[in-house]
Amino acid sequence: MSNIEIKVPNIGEFKDVEVIEVLVSEGQILKKNDPLITIESDKSSVEIPSNFEGKIKSLKLKVGDKVSEGDLILILESSNQKKEEKDHEKPIIKKESEKIQIVEPEAKQILSNQNKVIGISSASPKVRKFARELGVDINQVSGSERGGRVVENDVKLFVASKSNNLVNYENRDNKKIKQEYLHSEFGEVEIKDIPRVKKLSSKYLMNSWTNIPHVTNHDEADITEMEEFRNSLTDIYTGQKKKITPLAFIVKALTKTLKKFPSFNSSIDQIDQGKMTLKKYFHIGIAVDTPHGLMVPKLRNADKKDINSIATELKKISDECRNLRIDKKDLFGGSMTITSLGGIGGSFFTPIINFPEVAILGIGKSQKKQVYMNGKFVVRTMLPLSLSYDHRIIDGAEAARFNNELRENLGKNFAYKLAV
């Protein structure tokens, strides 16, 4: 048994840099290439890996410490006493009670060559934080920039390549949480079959939530003029008020917005090959609440239909779903989905993206609110918007611009054009 001192290696122009993460603890068993610490300079952050296997005897650093090349990271107990001696390496120091090897990670793994790090990915703090939020080991990501530097898009492509295939949730080795007691021990219970539609959709929902890095942008649209216009619509022949739901207007506004932001009307099944599929059609998915479970039929060619046609078709496909008469193919091939809780209640939420789409729009219940406009407070009808999007292909700034455009398309300047 020998003790090995693992020190900060030569990783380029890093001097007095801060330790921002300690990734191991005393007593932990290390394997070769396991990350030990993360250090951060003004330009980038890197993880220092272990070049040996063994048990951590003592840690010599903590978060916030400043380190340079040669500073001691930890002492490792290792049963592997073999070490390739090189002329430039420091000698073995022997003591009466124990033998200590002073080593640095092999040159094969970490080399300093014009600030290029081999085996440790170079990335800015922002990119490294982004990778951590997605659960990505930055050292596994290949950098596309000069010197192998990793940028945000490299992380997105890496995530996509790992999650492109659907996960088989029935066969994967999941550790289920076990109940300590039976439910029946606490009172009367009833066991019922889960509806078939819910059982079928659960796999797709779990796959989407697990494999797609969801981000949700919350906003509100002022639909005061749109609602006044909608409520004023009458049949030219009978003079009776037309019953057109706000959803028909939202479908039309969303379609117009998708034309300006084509990346939202795409799929990234081939992102691992660096390709995305841009759809030239506009088939809007509508989440329909049925006694059998949630179903999402597609309203085809929404860009070619007026408000009346959209309203009629919305009712038709909703009835077909509730009566289980919908064709299976009509549940696929969408551009983007709308899920609305407006008729029930609630404001903001996080809708789950309907794979292979890359975004979904959640609609809450509209409310009258005091809004400050033109130097005074006025009552306006505000509609909650919850836009979930796939962060692998859509950035936060693009999502914010998408919501801004959608708000405009639901506003007074567009409401009257919708019905034409």
Q: Which is the catalytic residue, given 88, 214, 292, 391? A: 391
Residue by residue, DSSP assigns 163-184 as HSSPP-TTTS---PPPPSS-GG
List C-alpha distances in Å: 50 to 74, 119, 131.
Answer: 10, 11, 21
218 carries an active-site annotation: no
Burial class (CB in 10 A: 0-12, 13-18, 19+), 241: exposed
Report, in angstroms and rounded to the nearest whole number, the Rg of the chain calculated over CA atoms: 29
Q: What is the C-alpha to C-alpha distance for residues 151 and 413, in angstroms, rounded to an integer?
A: 40
Q: What is the C-alpha to C-alpha distance for residues 15 and 33, in angstroms, rounded to an integer?
A: 23
Burial class (CB in 10 A: 0-12, 13-18, 19+), 194: exposed
CB 341 within 8 A of CB 366: no
**Dihedral sign, CA of 231, 232, 237, 240?**
positive
Q: Which residues contact 338 (CB under 8 A, 6 or more apart)?
A: 247, 250, 251, 254, 284, 285, 286, 287, 360, 361, 363
Q: What tokens appear for 4 in the block?
A: 């090995």
Among candidates 66, 50, 59, 49, which has minimal Cα distance to 14?
66
**Dihedral sign, CA of 142, 389, 322, 169?**
positive
Per-residue burial over 68-77, b if 16 or more Cβ lie within 10 Å, else e, is eeeeebbbbb
Report the alpha-carbon angle 383-248-198, nearest 5: 85
Burial class (CB in 10 A: 0-12, 13-18, 19+), 32: middle
Q: Which residues are catalytic?
A: 391
